[in-house]
Structure 1
C-alpha cells in the first residue's frame, strides 16, 4: 500500500515557485549563493567523565584544554574542523547543549538550523554521534565521536549523510594519528560524495534523465558501460533515490517486479559512456517522466543539488498519488462499468499508465477479479496507443 499527500501535478513539478515568492532577480541571487556555497565539517571526541577510560585520557585532554568543552558528566574535545576560528566554539557549544539534553543518539544523524559566525550565518548542521566500539571483554564506557557537516542546507540528504559519516567509524581513534592521511581527506569530500551525485547524473544524461526515471519506477535494471566507478555508483544511487522501493508495505510487489525484469536481460537500460554525450540502449519512457525533464534541467543548470533532490521527491510523490488513485479505481471497477471507464480515462491522461499497470498487476496477482480488470485496462491502453498510428 502506498501513502502520500501531494498537490496537483503542476504544483509538484514547479517546486521552485511553490515555496517562495521570490522574483527572478532574487532567485538568481539564491542560485549564485548555492554555486558559491561554503561547506564545512568538524569532528570531536566525546568523552564520558564517568568512565574509567576518561581518567586514562586526562593528560591528552589537558593538552587540548583550549578546545575542550566540559560538562558534569562529559567533555567534548575538538579534533579537526574547517570552520573559521570564531565559529567553531559556537558549534561546539551548540553540540554540548544537545548532548547534555540527550538529543544525540548513537548512529542516528540529527539535522537542525544553527547560527554561526560564517558568511552564510544560518546554516543546516548535520550531527551524528559515533560510539566507540568495544570488544566483548570490555565494558561500554560511553566514549565516542561527534561528526558534523555544515552547509547552506543539508536537510534533504540525511540518509546519505548517515551512511557517509558512519563510514568514518573504523578510522577514528582518540589521538587521531591518521588525521592527515585518512580522516581529514574523507570529511573534506562529504559534499561531493553525499550531495552532488544527483546533480552529476542529470548533467551526464541531460534530457535522457526521463529514461532513468522510467527505469526507476518500473524496476528496470540499469547497466553503465565504459565509465569510472564514481559514475557507476552515482547512477546506482540516482536510480535508488528515484525508485519507490521501500515505500511499499508489502515487499512482495517489489520482489515480483524485480524478478520479472531480471528474467529478461533485453529489458536492461544500457548507458554507454564511451561517447559524449552517453548513448542509451533499450531506453523506454512515457509522457509522465518526460514532463519532468525541464524541471531537472533547470535545477541542474542552477547547480542546485538541494532543489534537484526536492524535485525528485515530488516526482515520486506524484507517482505514488497516481498509484493510489488507480487502486481506488480498480476496487470501484469491480462493481461498476462506469468506474472501469473512468479508470481507463485516468490511465490515458496521467501519462504513466504502463508503469501503474505493471505495479498494479504485481500487487493484485492473487486477486482474480482485479487481474481481470487490469487485463481489460491493458488491452484498452494498447488499442489507444495503436489508434494514432493507424491514422497515419
Structure 2
C-alpha cells in the first residue's frame, strides 16, 4: 500500500523511462536552457537563390550519363553580418552537395557563425528549399504541350530560406510551424518572379524555347512584402504560445484537458488570428496521434464480460468543447467575481491539468522554447501514467492486491477518468473486465477521479 500511495505519477512526480532505466524527475520542470525570448535580437534569416552548375564527369559510357551536381548560392536577403552570412552559405552549400537532387524536406542543424566578434557553435538553423516556376504563371495559352512537358526541375527557380537562432535549442519541436511558414513564402516569391521576369519574345518558336533553359530574374532589389515576411518569422512561427497563454491565463487548464480528451474545439468571440493561435496551442497538447494508433479497426469489436451491452465498442469519444470569449468591455462591467474572459462548455478539468496550468503560468511566457518543451513533457507524463495503469490492470487479472493498487492509482494520479478512456481503446477483454469492475465500484462509492 505504501508503494502505491507514493507512486502517484501526478504531474508533480513524473517517472521517465529511458533506455530501459527508470529515472525519477521531480515534477515536469524542463531543464534550464538558454533564453528564447521573442524580444531578443539574436534571431536571423537569410534567403538565397540556387543556381545549378552541372559538370560532366564521365562520358565514356553510352548508356550511363554520370554527372556531378553542384549549386552556387547568391544571397538575396539577410540580416546577418557579412562574416556570419559567409559561414552560413558554406554550411548550406555543404548540405546541398550531399544529394544528387535538391532535398525536399527542411533540416535543422547546429552551426558555428561569426557574429559580432563572438564565435558561437550553438546557433540552430532551419533551412528549406522553396521552389518557384520560372515561367509566367498566367500565360497558359502561349505554352504548348511540347514546351510544357519540357519544363523540368532545371527550368524552375529554387531558393533556400534559413532561419537562425542563437538561443532556441529546441527549434526542432516547431518543424510543422516552420514547414507551414515556408509554404507561405512560395506565393510571395512567385509574385516577385512574375513581376521581375522578362517575357520571352512571342516570335521565338516553341522548340527553341524548350531547348534553352529559362533565364531567371535578378532579385537583388527585393520587394518589401518578402522582406517583412522574413523578418516576422519569430512572431509568426514561435509567438503563438506566448499569445495564447497571455490571452487565456489560468483558463489554459481547460484547454489542456480538452486536448488530452481528443475533443473537437469550437471557438467564438475572438479574432481569426487569435483563434488560429489557440488551435495551434491546442494541437501542441493533443494526443490525437496516440488515439489513432490505439483506435481499433472498424472490424475489431471488443466486448466486456458482464457488460450490459455485450456488443459495445469501446473507443475514446471525441467530445465537442465550445470556447467563447467575452469582450473586454463586458468583463469590465461585470463584478470581480466573474471577471474571466473565457466561457467553456463543458467546463472540465482535472488535478493533472490544473498542476500543468500552474506550472505553465509560472514560466516566462516569452520563453517559447521552454514552454514547448514543457508541453511535450505534459504529454510524456500522461502517456507514462497510462502505461503504468495498463500494467497494474494486467496484473490485476490474477491478483486482487493489484486490483486495489489500480484503484489507488486511479485516485492518486489526478487524471484517472481520462486514463480509463484511453485504456478502453486497445484493452483486451480480460483487462476491460477488470476496468468495468473498478468503474462499478467507483460509481457506487461516489469516488472522484479528477
Q: TM-score range by the shorter chain?
A: 0.7 to 0.9
Matched, 1:208 2:248: no
CA contact (8 A) 2:316 2:424 kept: no
Q: What's 2:418 paired with?
A: 355
1:47 pairs, out of 45, 51, 68, with 51
Q: Distance in 2 between matches of 1:42 and 1:385?
A: 61
The structure that is helix-richer by fraction is 1
Helix, strand or coil at the partner of 2:254 = helix
Unaligned runs of 5+ in 1: 21-29, 52-70
Q: What is the Cα deviation at residue 184 of structure 1? A: 1.9
1:157 pairs, out of 165, 174, 177, with 174
Could you say if the C-alpha distance between residues 180 and 132 of structure 1 is closer, same or farther in structure 2, counting changes exceeding 3 Å?
Answer: closer
Helix, strand or coil at the partner of 1:168 = helix
Matched, 1:167 2:184: yes
Offset from partner CA, 1:100-140 (integer Å, 9 cap, x none): 23399633121122222335844211111234558654233
Offset from partner CA, 1:197-222 (integer Å, 9 cap, x none): 11211111111111111100001222
- Aligned pairs for 1:217-296 (under 5 A) are 217-248=260-291, 250=293, 252=295, 260-262=317-319, 267-275=320-328, 277-281=340-344, 282-296=346-360
Q: What is the Cα deviation at residue 314 of structure 1? A: 0.4
The structure that is strand-richer by fraction is 2
Q: Distance in 1 between matches of 2:220 and 2:419?
A: 54
Offset from partner CA, 1:154-177 (integer Å, 9 cap, x none): 233222112211332233245349
1:113 pairs, out of 90, 110, 116, with 110
Superposed CA RMSD in Å reads 3.4
Q: What's 1:368 paired with?
A: 429
Could you say if the C-alpha distance between residues 372 and 295 of structure 1 is closer, same or farther in structure 2, counting changes exceeding 3 Å?
Answer: same
Q: Distance in 2 between matches of 1:106 and 1:386?
A: 56
Q: Distance in 2 between matches of 1:178 and 1:162?
A: 26
Count of equivalent residues: 349
Q: Distance in 2 between matches of 1:82 and 1:97?
A: 21
CA contact (8 A) 1:130 1:145 kept: yes
Unaligned runs of 5+ in 2: 1-15, 56-67, 135-147, 194-215, 299-312, 332-339
Could you say if the C-alpha distance between residues 296 and 37 of structure 1 is closer, same or farther in structure 2, counting changes exceeding 3 Å?
Answer: farther
* Structure with greater Cα Rg: 2
Q: What's 1:74 paired with?
A: 71
Could you say if the C-alpha distance between residues 345 and 201 of structure 1 is closer, same or farther in structure 2, counting changes exceeding 3 Å?
Answer: same
